[in-house]
Structure formats: structure tokens, C-alpha cells
Amino acid sequence: MSDAARIARQVFASKPKGLTYTHFRPSAVDLASIDATLSVATAESAYSAAISYAEAMSNLQHGSTAWSIVKLYYSCFYSLRTLLLLNQVVPFNSGSEMLLDIDGKKFQKGGKSSHHWNWKSINKVGAVGRSWFTSSDSEEAYGKLRKHRENVNYTHSFPDPDFHKCLVSKENDLGKRFRTYRDDSAFFYTYLDDHLAIAYPTKLIFQLDTSLKAASIFLDEEKIAHLKSVWKMKDRCPIS
């Protein structure tokens, strides 16, 4: 748990008994304390997103498709979490999943679990609610990829060396697929069932890459070096 999430949980735990979370407002001092930890929390979460994506793509190149689905899902999970942090929204658990909207100075329901976001709450938060990654299309794509991950983890176990159906494509060159999805400015492939398992996390990780640079948040050299050691494609590794 990041310091930002830990402090947010402590602040929420101080809510007077009987007062609803919708009427509980954190103090300016509390908000400043949490805000001071956001850059570190964001960088740590971004690294988790990036290394999950890099490992997924590397595994795909070596035929480990089931683990790739798991890693692609977790890349999305951490990408979304990081994008929330970049917009001053802190996910945390306090008996249930919650969100702290720092700019709005209020708490929101976070979802029924850390992997089942409350998208309605997310869309109530300023600029976040106007972003493509919080759209209904994004919500649906995330849900489908989560089900693919649950499918290989719990339903059919690991089907290697057979390709999971969500990864089958007429294009066998992974590099070409990567570049197509990365450069898909019209979001043509991002949400399509036959493409989203790779296309959706690819769009998310490059959105995150752009957003981190805009916020002047960078990974340390050791993490960048490790990312590059895992990344086996000729194109630039995102968030490096």
C-alpha cells in the first residue's frame, strides 16, 4: 500500500461515528499530507503497469499466452490506478473500496472490490470523467479483459501452448500489431473483441506514458533499466 493510500485510509477512519462518508470532509492539512505523497505513489504504480505490460509482450513472443493475459490485465489495472492518482484521486481500502477526490475534498465509493471499479464514482471526478479511459467503452473493455484473466486463472487453467481465443489474430507479427494498436488514434481496434486483449492495454499504457511526461513524473534509472531489459521489441518501451 502506498503512503497516499495509507494516509487516506487513516483520515477516513477518523470519520465521526454516525456521519456518512458523503458528509465527511478531510481537513486541508490532511489533504496536503496526502498530496505530498502522490508523486511517489504515482511513479510506483506506473512502474507496476509498465513492467506488467513489458512482461506480457515478452511472454507473447515466447508463446506463454496464458500468463500474458494475466499480465495484460494487471497492466490495465495499474494503468487505471495510476491515471486516477495523476488526477488526484486516491484509491484505498477501509473495510470497503473507497476513492478520495483530493480536488473535490470528498470521498466516493470505490467499488465492490479493488478489481471491480465503481465507474459511476470515477466519472463524477472532474477531468477524469471526461477522459476516454473512463468511458463506457473503456469500462466494457476492462470488464472483458478481467473475465479473460479469470478464465485462464480459474476456469480453464493455463491452456499453453494453445493461444487463448482472445489473442488469435490474422496478423501473426506481434510487432505490427503493437504498432497498429499504439498508433490507433481513432480507437478503431481498442474495443473490438478480436483485438482488445492487446489493443486496450496498449492504448492505456501509452496514455499513461503521455500523462506522466506531462506531469513531469519519471521512473528512477534502476527501474527504467529493468524495464528495458525485459522489453524485447525494437520499438520504444513505454514509460522508459
Q: Is the pLDDT of residue 150 over 60?
A: yes
Q: Is the pLDDT of residue 112 over 60?
A: yes
C-alpha R_g of the chain: 18
Residue 171 has a pLDDT of 62
Q: Whole-model pTM?
A: 0.92
Residue 71 has a pLDDT of 95
Alpha carbon distance 134, 81 (integer Å): 11
Q: Which of 218, 214, 230, 206 is nearest to 75 (CA)?
A: 206
Residue 136 has a pLDDT of 94
Residue 62 pLDDT level (bands cut at 50, 70, 90): confident
Q: Can you give the residue ranges of every domain in the chain?
A: 3-230
C-alpha cell at 106: 470528498
- Percent of all residues in the chain with a pLDDT value above 70, rounded to a whole number: 91
- The DSSP annotation for 110-179 comes to EEEETTEE-HHHHTTSGGGGGSGGGSHHHHHHHHHHHHHHHIIIIIS---TTSPPGGG--S---HHHHHH
Residue 124 has a pLDDT of 85
Least-confidence region, from 71-75, 163-167, 173-177, 197-201: 163-167
The contacts of residue 212 (CB under 8 Å, 6+ apart) are 42, 46, 82, 86, 218, 239
Alpha carbon distance 84, 209 (integer Å): 14
Helices 174-182, 196-214: inter-axial angle, 10-degree rounding? 50
Q: Is the pLDDT of residue 161 over 80?
A: no
Residue 237 backbone phi and psi in degrees, to 5: -75, 130
Q: Is the pLDDT of residue 132 over 70?
A: yes
**Mean pLDDT to the nearest integer, 160-164:** 52
- Secondary element (H or E) of residue 100: strand 97-101
Alpha carbon distance 189, 128 (integer Å): 22
**Mean pLDDT to the nearest integer, 133-152:** 92
- Secondary element (H or E) of residue 191: none
- Percent of all residues in the chain with a pLDDT value above 90, rounded to a whole number: 76
Q: Is the pLDDT of residue 205 over 60?
A: yes
Under a CB-based contact definition with an 8 Å cutoff, are residues 208 and 239 in contact?
A: yes
Residue 143 has a pLDDT of 96
Residue 234 has a pLDDT of 92
Alpha carbon distance 198, 200 (integer Å): 6
Q: Is the pLDDT of residue 169 over 70?
A: no
Q: Is the pLDDT of residue 159 over 70?
A: no
Alpha carbon distance 115, 46 (integer Å): 17
